[in-house]
């Protein structure tokens, strides 16, 4: 038994010596290349360029992460941005409505041009849905029709605008 263990240890020792020898030869081959000034200069420049590129990329990525963090923080606290009326602050769903009002397809409905009037309309739409939408309305055709019916007068009885806003509202988690 002792002989078997000794044989295994001898093989491990021989393998270790072989690996060390290969690393030593590889190191000396690298040292010969490094002794070539032109090779060394080219390699040095390449490494400096790579390091600088890495630093530049890291800085750009760091800037991106800071901007993303600020945006997430604003969204989490539901702050009104600099281009949003203060009356929308803290009401994410009303902000979504406000942002999408100008892009609604409409035949008779005219979006208020004034930002404060548009914010008031967004808040009225939000309040109307919260007050009149029955529980469990999403996915139930009869209850969804009730929501559409309370929205319809707010869009000057414009079917296209009402249906487009309904789809936006339906996809909001807050309702």
Percent of the chain topping pLDDT 90: 42
Question: Where do the structural domains in the chain lie, given as residue ranges?
Answer: 2-55, 86-170
The string of pLDDT tens digits covering residues 28-75 is 445 444 455 666 666 778 788 888 888 888 888 888 888 878 777 766
Element holding 130 (H helix, E strand)? helix 115-132
This prediction has a pTM of 0.56
Token pair 């019916």 in the structure block, residue: 149
The string of pLDDT tens digits covering residues 86-128 is 899 888 899 899 989 999 998 999 999 999 999 999 999 999 9
CB 137 within 8 A of CB 143: yes
Over residues 165-171, mean pLDDT: 94
Assess whether pLDDT exceeds 70 at residue 14: no
DSSP character string of 84-109: S-GGGTT-HHHHHHHHHGGG---SS-
């Amino acid at each position: 038994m002792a002989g078997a263990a000794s044989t295994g240890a001898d093989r491990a020792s021989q393998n270790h010596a072989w690996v060390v020898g290969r690393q030593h030869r590889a190191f000396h081959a690298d040292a010969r290349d490094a002794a070539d000034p032109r090779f060394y200069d080219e390699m040095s420049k390449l490494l400096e360029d790579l390091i600088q590129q890495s630093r530049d990329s890291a800085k750009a990525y760091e800037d991106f992460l800071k901007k993303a963090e600020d945006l997430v923080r604003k969204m989490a606290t539901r702050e009104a941005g600099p281009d949003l009326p203060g009356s929308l602050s803290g009401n994410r769903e009303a902000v979504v409505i406000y942002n999408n009002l100008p892009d609604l397809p409409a035949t008779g409905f005219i979006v208020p041009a004034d930002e404060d009037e548009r914010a008031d309309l967004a808040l009225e739409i939000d309040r109307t849905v919260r007050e009149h939408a029955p529980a469990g309305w999403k996915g139930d055709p009869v209850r969804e029709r009730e929501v559409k019916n309370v929205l319809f007068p707010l869009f000057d009885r414009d079917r296209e605008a009402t249906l487009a806003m309904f789809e936006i509202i339906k996809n909001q988690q807050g309702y």
